[in-house]
A and B are shown apart, each in its own frame.
Chain A
Amino acid sequence: MKFAVNVIEALLIVAIAPLVRGVIARVKARIQNRRGASVLRPYADLLKLFRKEDLVPDTASALFRFAPVVLFAVTVTAAAFVPVLHPSALLGVSGDFIVLVYLLAAGRFFLMLGAMDGGSSFGGMGASREALVSTLAEAPLFLGLTSVAILAHTVRLSGIVEFSVRQNPFQLSAVHVLAFGALALVAIAETGRIPVDNPTTHLELTMIHEAMVLEYSGPSLALIEWASAVKLTLIMALLVGVFVPWGMATSNSLLGLAFALLAFLFKFAVLAIVIAMIESSLAKLRMYLVPDFLGVASALAILAVVFTALMR
């Protein structure tokens, strides 16, 4: 039973990832007074891309075809570490939050390699920007997760989530507030949402992710897009699981799991609306201000770690 639930959790993240994107795009369209495409549009996009021909530049090596597959595989593996309905995950070992951070880093590494292998100057430019952002985002992501791990006295993600579930919702701990601030900023940078990167732009001066995938087409592009949607969903699920997990099932009863699914969908809907509102009300930062943005995240994360010692 528990195994089945864990498999469903991992599949849920992978399956609803395009939907999450669709909902964010739809809410954004509504805020901007447009009707917007159907929330199922990303699925149609993926289906269309999977049917198309995969064009490979003449200059590219085998790595170009290989990179999206690795990226997708690694991201889906990372998704299997995140507890969604129940404070346990399909893959869970001691210290798995470290594995999660570096699985995401490995995926990004291969995407950057593929982008540079494509041979266009945009690929290299996007890869260098992505390298800058991810280098700066790694420390706060890691420290933020470490601080909640110290608080929960466990190095397993499922243990951290279980600690949060059992915590009194009104007992606000400084560590949680600071770590949430840090991880929310990191999540924006990691998933390439608006103040850091604009997912809908093709303007050469500002794009990061789009510049990297410019040379890709067909099934490869579909895999990359799906992987980045999975990454967005898994980071959202991670934030929800670590900071607002209330409603998660603590036993394996069917009723509890159904309630947990409803609570999960509700929290995701709220989060999607919040993201859409942030994206509609903020302008993209200049590239030189991104280090500042992530510097704030680092300061918050460091403060969170130090506070674990101060506020017992």
Chain B
Amino acid sequence: MGLIGLAVAKALASSAVFLFVTVLMMASAKRISTCIVLFGLQSAVMAAQIVALAYAGKLLEAYAIAALVVVVKIVAIPYALFRIVRDLKAPHDTASSTTVAQSVFIMAGLILLSFFAVAPYAKTLRIDENMLASAVALVLSGAFLMVSRKKALMQVIGLLVLENGIFLAALTTTFGMPLVIEIGISFDLLMGVFLMGLFVFRIRDTFEHLDVSKLRRLRG
């Protein structure tokens, strides 16, 4: 019993580190499939965080939310993305407009920025600074992935990372939203991924590539 409590506390204390590691690795990843795996890992860290919070706060509802995260974000969305990558038969690189080193430097800067951004609020709200900072860092890095990667699929992954950040922010500030809303958001996200997958196929069929930086004129 005491051992589980200790493990929970440690998991919460070091989960922010794992989130930073996934984000930094995403910045250095060169293939879309690596990014999908990293997104799954990131969601797994978040699921562990939710379970730890549920255990610490004795919230039964949170276990259901954790199960939802496992089903939707670790299984369904990565599976759907892998299917899209396989069926697209397009080159698998992320087509980054920054070099790997630049991406990692920028990502590191965003992580620091988020620490400075949340410092005043974390003190007044009396919540864990590391967790709130990692939530903001996820939002920022998701946005960064969306603007710096040229492949249409990477925009989807950036959005998913961004959503993970918002989810984590809600989790740390309010101990999670009501279950009904969480279910709504999750299925919204799932549908979003499917719709964006369709879009990606349409982009490829119409323009014969996935480079969003070249989408400059209309085509019938």
Interface residues of A (CB under 8 A from B): 168, 170-174, 177-178, 181, 291-296, 298-300, 302-303, 306, 310-311
Contact = CB atoms under 8 A, between A and B. Distances in A.
A177 B21 contact: yes
Which of A168, A172, A306 counts the most B-chain CB atoms under 10 A from its CB?
A172
Contacts of A168: 10
Interface residues of B, number: 23
Interface of B: 6-7, 10, 13-14, 16-17, 20-21, 24, 28, 99-102, 104-105, 107-108, 111-112, 115, 130
A76 B126 CA distance: 52
A295 B99 contact: yes
Which of A181, A296, A298 counts the most B-chain CB atoms under 10 A from its CB?
A296
B204 to A, nearest CB: 28
Contacts of B102: 295
Contacts, number: 60
Contact of A303 (B6, B99, B101, B108): B108
B17 A302 contact: no
A83 B28 CA distance: 33
A171 B107 CA distance: 24
A82 to B, nearest CB: 26
Contacts of B17: 172-174, 177
Nearest to B119: A310
A291 B102 CA distance: 11
A306 B112 contact: yes
5 contacts: A170-B7, A172-B14, A291-B101, A299-B101, A306-B112
B84 to A, nearest CB: 26
Given A292-B101, A295-B99, A302-B108, A170 B16 contact: no
